[in-house]
Structure 1
């Protein structure tokens, strides 16, 4: 006796949809697991660093507001933190030259956070270049020299971003530990989120006005890192202190 399986058009369509859904679920899980890989890179091209080998890098994004940046700088000084990296948007830097000057005077590294708050993955190549170029010009006018690192304004980037950033002379820097301080989840939760930081971690923090609890969380974060015997470094110091593996990004 022969058995036949007959699929009509509707049933076949349902099977295809199920297979597509399964594929994308697996893909999203794969992408989440990429956070354990030290470096994103193109096959033969530039890299986006988010994990190093030596030290812990505290990084602060600032894109708007004028109330939180200086109290955070005060706290870093009080806690004797000698190294950190501030990713500043060009538009914010233009409006706050005194704070930019203070960041430099106190020995902290400055990186570019684009010019406007835009998602580079949604822009044409020329628009990405224009945003970076505009930020570059803003920092040039403020006499900020030797900027080596750039962070995508929204944190989203792709292969095009890596190549365009390199063309302008920058390495794209992401993060391996997200404090989620911009969500104002409570000081204890921010500290708990950063507790997972190990040697080589790049920690995402904010000094924009949305980060209402970061200032209070910082002393506890610094104490936790010191208790682990880890050294606080800038992103550029971390990049210079060791090598990282690569992972192709498409």
Structure 2
């Protein structure tokens, strides 16, 4: 038995239109990923950066604890990682001025992780402003200057958070790759969680005492990223002189 596939003129035309549309869609997405820094927000609203164009950014949140931050700094120095960004809560910074001073002395960037552990999506705008402003004042007293970055303490933010940050002259920074190190799943799992990293990724790690396995995982994470030929940069270096695309945040 013979089977025949018959295409009339209309079908052929539709087929080629689909192919052409698919090609241009793929090309557009490629250019968008290559050229722009993706951000959350409406086009004309304040934005939150979560990914860059090239290189890779290690970011460490510190909200509490006395033991894990220094070993992380020691490892970064040992592995010759000269660029990273630390998001510090104002309350933690006040209690650990010597470590804050070391982070800056070692050449790393400091951003704000609020003052207290507050979910910005669950409080009024004035409370968001109060928390961030209190953190800014804490860093001012510690003589930490030119802070331009903020991260929501719980990772949750909304349009009012973006507006408050913008009015205070800050850029809100999220992440594109979560190590989930705070769940303490084992060093091998943390390394695996970061193994998909590619150029432009902002990687979330922690140096609070609750993240007990980050220091163990960090050397292998750095080794894998080096093998990929990725260069470590701060968030400010990643976003400098870059355009932005946007996603809606309600």
TM-score range, shorter chain: 0.7 to 0.9
> 1:174: which partner in 2?
174
**Deviation at residue 45 of structure 1 after TM alignment:** 1.4
> 1:193: which partner in 2?
193
- 1:54 and 1:242 in contact (8 A); partners too: no
**Deviation at residue 241 of structure 1 after TM alignment:** 5.2
1:109 aligns with 2:109: yes
Listed one character per residue, the Cα deviations across residues 182-226 of structure 1 (whole Å, up to 9, x for unaligned) are 111011100000011110000000000011111111110011000
1:227 aligns with 2:227: yes
Q: In structure 2, what is the Cα distance between the partners aligned to 1:64 and 1:183?
A: 15
Q: In structure 2, what is the Cα distance between the partners aligned to 1:165 and 1:60?
A: 20
1:55 aligns with 2:55: yes
> 1:31: which partner in 2?
none
Aligned Cα root-mean-square deviation (Å):
1.0
Listed one character per residue, the Cα deviations across residues 2-28 of structure 1 (whole Å, up to 9, x for unaligned) are xxxxxxxxxxxxxxxxxxxxxxxxxxx
* 5+ long unaligned stretches in structure 2: 1-36
> 1:46: which partner in 2?
46
> 2:124: which partner in 1?
124
Q: Structure 1 residue runs of 4+, over 2 Å off?
A: 241-244
> 1:203: which partner in 2?
203
Structure 2 CA distance for partners of 1:241 and 1:80, relative to 1, 3 Å: farther
- 1:89 and 1:112 in contact (8 A); partners too: yes
Q: TM-score, normalised by structure 2?
A: 0.84
Secondary structure class of the residue paired with 2:244: coil
Secondary structure class of the residue paired with 1:42: coil
- 1:43 and 1:249 in contact (8 A); partners too: no
- 1:53 and 1:241 in contact (8 A); partners too: no
**Deviation at residue 244 of structure 1 after TM alignment:** 3.0
> 1:92: which partner in 2?
92
Q: In structure 1, what is the Cα distance between the partners aligned to 2:38 and 2:177?
A: 12
Q: In structure 1, what is the Cα distance between the partners aligned to 2:244 and 2:56?
A: 15
- 1:53 and 1:243 in contact (8 A); partners too: no
Q: In structure 2, what is the Cα distance between the partners aligned to 1:155 and 1:42?
A: 19
- 1:114 and 1:131 in contact (8 A); partners too: yes
> 2:28: which partner in 1?
none
Q: In structure 1, what is the Cα distance between the partners aligned to 2:42 and 2:149?
A: 17
> 2:248: which partner in 1?
248
Q: In structure 2, what is the Cα distance between the partners aligned to 1:249 and 1:130?
A: 22
Map 1:137-176 onto structure 2 (within 5 A).
137-176=137-176
**Deviation at residue 247 of structure 1 after TM alignment:** 1.4
Q: In structure 2, what is the Cα distance between the partners aligned to 1:43 and 1:242?
A: 15
**Deviation at residue 246 of structure 1 after TM alignment:** 1.1
